Amino acid sequence: MRKRRRKKRRSNKKFIRISQIMIGIILVVGIIIGFNQYRINKDKVVYSNDVANGQSSDSDNQSNEVTAANDNKGVPVLCFHSISDDPKAKSSIVIPKDKFKQDLQAVKDYGYTTLTIAQLNDYLFNNKPIPKKSVIISFDDGYKDNYTNAFPILKELNMNATIFVISSYLDGQVYMTPDEVKELSNYGIDIESHTFDHKQLSTLSYDEQYKELKDSKDSLEKLIGKPVTAIAYPEGKYNDDTKKAVVEAGYSMGFTIERGYADKDDSRVLLNRICIDYTYKPSDIKKVLENLRK
């Protein structure tokens, strides 16, 4: 009888000791997690990157510190054209699908947030903060393959983009159909202007330039039901008349293909971009995002 009681007491003591150890472990782990959380909250302001259409952030698992509103860190505006595996379409501005996906994956892996045109405009001209690592992915011309090849990759990687469309070229063959443009816009891709007829603006009179710019803005706005606020100049060509006509036609931003970041020192109608061709490797993408040099 006494032996059994002693045995029982011994097992009770053992149970209490194990319980104490377990509680100790839970407390220590709790303190470590709590401290880490405190450190993260203290050091970082996490930017909410909800794009215009309410998509979730393209860098859900990463935090990206906010740039102070008065900081003039430029934003790389990458410029792509056609995304295609078609061997007939060989040209330096045609990038195969897999390569394009690697390029975008690199942008994402390096922690960059894809901005909308409105976010870039607010940062440059209205002193709104943006994530320190911000980028714009843009396409010129509105090729059909932007819809068939680039769009699925953008969706898969949850990244935003801007397409500068030539508004009279929407033939559904080489270029997108009006319905495809509308679908992209409804998804949240920014549809902006690349003029009405892709004429080199610097060869035109002021009135002709104004018409190219205004007709394109009006027809695209009618199509997508949203304001069109940015223009990319065909072949990057412009002159003094262009700068005036762009503002007169109601645009708030004009993009060249002069290599550089879009920053607050740029004129709002001469914003720099960085054209990406098929020679770029993912490591080159990182270099241009960080210091412009490939």
Q: Where on the chain is the footprint of Zn ion (CB under 5 A)?
A: 140-141, 234
**Nearest distance from residue 195's CB to Zn ion, in Å?**
8
Closer residue to Zn ion (CB): 51 or 166: 166
Closer residue to Zn ion (CB): 58 or 190: 190
Q: Which two tokens stand for residue 14?
A: 């053992």
Bridging pattern class, strands 113-114 and 94-95: unpaired
**Nearest distance from residue 81's CB to Zn ion, in Å?**
7
Helical H segments across the chain, by residue range:
2-43, 97-109, 117-126, 144-145, 151-156, 178-187, 206-224, 240-248, 282-291
Can you tell me which residue has the tokens 């003094």?
A: 240
| Euclidean distance between the first and the last CA atom of the chain, given in angstroms as a whole number | 85
**Nearest distance from residue 166's CB to Zn ion, in Å?**
7
Closer residue to Zn ion (CB): 140 or 266: 140
Distance from C-alpha of 160 to C-alpha of 192, rounded to nearest angstrom: 14
**Nearest distance from residue 110's CB to Zn ion, in Å?**
28
**Nearest distance from residue 142's CB to Zn ion, in Å?**
9
Closer residue to Zn ion (CB): 199 or 244: 199
- For 218, the 3-state DSSP assignment is helix
Closer residue to Zn ion (CB): 236 or 282: 236
Cα dihedral: 202, 203, 208, 209 (round 10):
-10
Closer residue to Zn ion (CB): 103 or 141: 141
Distance from C-alpha of 152 to C-alpha of 261, rounded to nearest angstrom: 27
CB 53 within 8 A of CB 188: yes
Distance from C-alpha of 186 to C-alpha of 66, rounded to nearest angstrom: 28
**Nearest distance from residue 45's CB to Zn ion, in Å?**
38
